[in-house]
Amino acid sequence: MMSLGPLMLDIAGTALTAEEKERLQHPLVGGVILFTRNYQSPEQIAALTDQIHALRQPHLLIAVDHEGGRVQRFRDGFTRLPPMAAIGKHLLAHPQHALKLAQTAGWLMAAELRAVGVDFSFAPVLDLDYGVSEVIGDRSFHPDPDAASKLAGAFVQGLKAAWMSAVGKHFPGHGAVTVDSHQGLPIDERPFDTLWQQDMVPFRRLSPVLAGVMPAHIVYRDCDTQPAGFSRYWIQDVLRKKIGFQGAVFSDDLSMNGAAIAGDVLARAEAALAAGCDMALVCNDPTAAAQVLDGLQCAPDPLRQMRLLRLHGRHPQSWQSLQASTEWQQAVNLMTDLHPPAEPQRTLV
The answer to whether 154 and 107 are in contact (CB under 8 A) is no
Tell me: is residue 301 an annotated ligand-binding position: no
Q: Which of 119, 127, 199, 252 is catalytic?
A: 252
User: In a 3-state reduction of DSSP, which class is residue 167?
Assistant: strand
Report the sign of the C-alpha dihedral through residues 282, 208, 61, 30, in that order: positive
The answer to whether 125 and 139 are in contact (CB under 8 A) is yes
252 is catalytic: yes
Residue 236 makes CB contacts below 8 A (sequence gap 6+) with 275, 276
Tell me: is residue 170 an annotated ligand-binding position: yes
237 is catalytic: no
Among the listed residues 254, 149, 311, the one whose alpha carbon sits nearest the alpha carbon of residue 140: 149
Tell me: is residue 346 an annotated ligand-binding position: no
Tell me: is residue 242 an annotated ligand-binding position: no
Tell me: is residue 65 an annotated ligand-binding position: yes
Pairing status of strand 248-249 against strand 212-215 = parallel
- DSSP E strands: which ranges in the chain? 7-9, 29-34, 61-64, 66-68, 71-72, 120-121, 167-171, 187-188, 212-215, 219-220, 248-249, 280-282
User: In a 3-state reduction of DSSP, which class is residue 22?
Assistant: helix
Residue 290 makes CB contacts below 8 A (sequence gap 6+) with 23
Which residues belong to the active site? 182, 252
Provide the annotated binding site for substrate. 65, 73, 139, 169-170
